[in-house]
Amino acid sequence: MTSPNIVLIMADQLAPHFTGAYGHTLVKTPHMDRLAARGARFDAAYCNAPLCAPSRFSFMSGQHVTRIAAYDNASEFPATVPTFAHYLRLKGYRTCLSGKMHFVGPDQLHGFEERLTTDIYPADHAWTPDWEMPDERIDKWYHNMDAVREAGVAATTFQIEYDEETAFFARRKIFDYAMNKVAPFCMVVSFIHPHDPYVARPEWWDLYDHDAIDMPGSPEAGDPHSRRLMKGIEADKVAVSDEEVRNARHAYYANTSYFDSKLGDIIQALEESGQLDDTVIIVTADHGDMLGERGLWYKMSFFEHSARVPLIVAGPGVVNRTVSEPCSLVDLLPTFLDIAGGEWPDLGMPLDGRSLWLLARGAVQEGEGEAICEYCAECAPANPLFMIRRGRFKYIHCDVDPPQLYDLKADPMERTNLADDPVLAERAAAFAAEVKERWDSAAIRENVLATQRQRRAIHAAMEAGTLTSWDYQPRREASQEFVRNHMDWTEAAEKMRFPPFARKT
């Protein structure tokens, strides 16, 4: 049996709660809806770090954040860490990336044979937090409330331009694979929307009745980390009006529909190129967005709107079902290897995830399922934070904060902290013991501080003198594109036509 193609489409900062595919009554996501209607929808999928780069490094490598020191948005992703792109190449796959992956460091491929676009964010150490000054705001790149106060409509933004390019080059490569009979291939198409700024084009904004946009439904959180986040994004001193909140949510919904349209473009290219039936499609995100719930915005929190992600799998062999057991993005690497079939290649590192392929094909879950999440970046209290989701319960720990325990089946909005509930004392104690066994908080803290010092020193040196940029420069050879004098233009026209013209015999 030929291995199927794998196409993963990733959104940035998309909480499943704000999609039609996961039941939101307003948000229009018709392409996600159709995939879910014929595929497997995972209803308790989590990122492994609620921040862009750490989540993506974890997803690529199948490793938890602290295992590979992927602490924040300026942590280097070492070239020595194997990724699913490396392993799939060993399985005979062509590997390609179009769009964002926020790789930091001189290796900007990490196993992908081709990268079709540059990245949208810098590849250096400029965005390094400083846990030695945890109360300091770095205004140049810290989130603030401007994205909420300035939400609205525009003809274009840097994010729109980026996603248009990402989709265009991905679509072109899909047809190129078909015309040159390249199979199997693994392509990641990674968009920046609906990540803030919350600014949408008019046609997507106009999909929604502004007055019908729902408002946040959760009361403000009073736990220490939420208070730190509110201070970090200046929500503690910059008031936003109800109309500004509604504008931000309106634009986010609009940009979610825009992302969904790009998903549709990729599916259409696969269908028109005759490759859809041979392709497993996965839709997910790097993390969610609080979007005003609990008074919080953006991510960096373990609450559901920040830490949960959509995960839909559709394609050959996948059954139509919903999976309620917890899982996470580190599970995708072993899932890809099982999709590829046959023996796995020798692994360069032990994996922290487990394959979801049998679940997608209809198998019964063994056990409660779990997701492990870690946070070691800005707005942390100079100490790491940890989350364990197992079965219906979520446990959140930080050495300097009171623990949190939520029963997500009975309390999906996480309104009641059960950590001190005597009925659940045994479960809370078991979680606390597991945290102590699984993580050495003091050692992690010292390593975070050490890497931050290293990166700040390197960045200061790179800013002095001649800069050698790590930002990815897409490779193009204009002399080989379209029609050139070393080729017969009729042959070029025939080669680049799909389906090919059926000549009469």
Q: Which domain holds residue 234?
A: 11-381
Is 447 inside any structural domain?
A: no
Handedness of CA 26, 32, 38, 44 (dihedral sign): negative
Contact 275, 177 (CB under 8 A): yes
How is the chain split among helix, strand and coil, in percent rounded to 5?
35, 15, 50
SS3 498: coil
Contact 369, 390 (CB under 8 A): yes
Is 131 inside any structural domain?
A: yes
Q: Which two tokens stand for residue 111?
A: 């196993």
484: number of Cβ within 10 Å:
11
CA 360, CA 6: separation in Å to the nearest integer? 14
In the prediction, which pLDDT does 134 show?
Answer: 78
Tell me: pLDDT of 469 over 60: yes
Q: For the chain, how far is it from start to end, CA to CA, in angstroms?
A: 33
Predicted confidence band of residue 222 (pLDDT cuts 50, 70, 90): confident
Q: What is the per-residue pLDDT across 36-48, written as a single tens digit (0 to 9) for each?
A: 999 999 999 999 9
Q: Which amino acid type is present at position 353?
A: G
Provide the percentage of residues in the chain whose pLDDT is more than 90. 89
Q: Which amino acid type is present at position 441?
A: S
Is 97 inside any structural domain?
A: yes
Residues in the chain: 505
Tell me: pLDDT of 353 over 80: yes
Phi, psi of 56 (to 5 degrees): -70, -40
Find residue 69's DSSP bridge partners. none
- Phi-psi region at 411: left, alpha or beta (left = phi > 0; alpha = psi -120 to 50): beta
Tell me: pLDDT of 500 over 90: no
Dihedral angle over CA of 430, 434, 437, 439, nearest 10: -140
Is 133 inside any structural domain?
A: yes
Contacts of 231 by beta carbon, 8 Å cutoff, 6+ apart: 379
Q: What's the pTM?
A: 0.96
CA 232, CA 135: separation in Å to the nearest integer? 8
Cis peptide before 402 (omega within 30 of 0): no
Q: What is the per-residue pLDDT across 459-468, written as a single tens digit (0 to 9) for each?
A: 999 999 998 8
In the prediction, which pLDDT does 142 show?
Answer: 79
How many CA atoms are closer than 13 Å to the CA of 33, on its beta-carbon side? 13
CA 481, CA 503: separation in Å to the nearest integer? 25
Q: What is the per-residue pLDDT across 104-135, written as a single tens digit (0 to 9) for each?
A: 999 999 999 999 999 999 999 999 999 998 77
Dihedral angle over CA of 176, 181, 186, 192, nearest 10: 20
Is 51 inside any structural domain?
A: yes
Domain count, the chain: 1
Tell me: pLDDT of 1 over 60: no
Contact 46, 227 (CB under 8 A): no
Residue 175's domain is classified under what CATH number?
A: 3.40.720.10
Catalytic hit among 17, 31, 86, 102: 102
Contact 356, 312 (CB under 8 A): no
Q: Which two tokens stand for residue 214?
A: 């729902």
Is 110 inside any structural domain?
A: yes
User: What DSSP line would sit under 437-473, residue for residue?
Assistant: HH--HHHHHHHHHHHHHHHHHHHHHHHSSS----S--
Predicted confidence band of residue 138 (pLDDT cuts 50, 70, 90): confident
CA 419, CA 432: separation in Å to the nearest integer? 10
Radius of gyration of the chain (CA): 23
Catalytic hit among 17, 47, 52, 195: 52
Token pair 């994010």 is found at 159
Work out the average pLDDT over 482-496.
Answer: 84
Q: What is the per-residue pLDDT across 155-167, written as a single tens digit (0 to 9) for each?
A: 999 999 999 999 9
Q: What is the per-residue pLDDT across 49-100, written as a single tens digit (0 to 9) for each?
A: 999 999 999 999 999 999 999 999 999 999 999 999 999 999 999 999 999 9
SS3 370: strand
Tell me: pLDDT of 492 over 60: yes
Q: Which amino acid type is present at position 127?
A: W
Active-site residue, 96 included: no
Active-site residue, 327 included: no
Is 497 inside any structural domain?
A: no
Mean pLDDT score across all residues of the chain: 95
Nearest to 498 by CA among 269, 281, 279, 276: 269
Contacts of 320 by beta carbon, 8 Å cutoff, 6+ apart: 37, 38, 39, 40
CA 301, CA 287: separation in Å to the nearest integer? 10
Is 309 inside any structural domain?
A: yes
Residue 99, class by beta-carbon neighbours within 10 Å (0-12 exposed, 13-18 middle, 19+ buried)?
Answer: buried
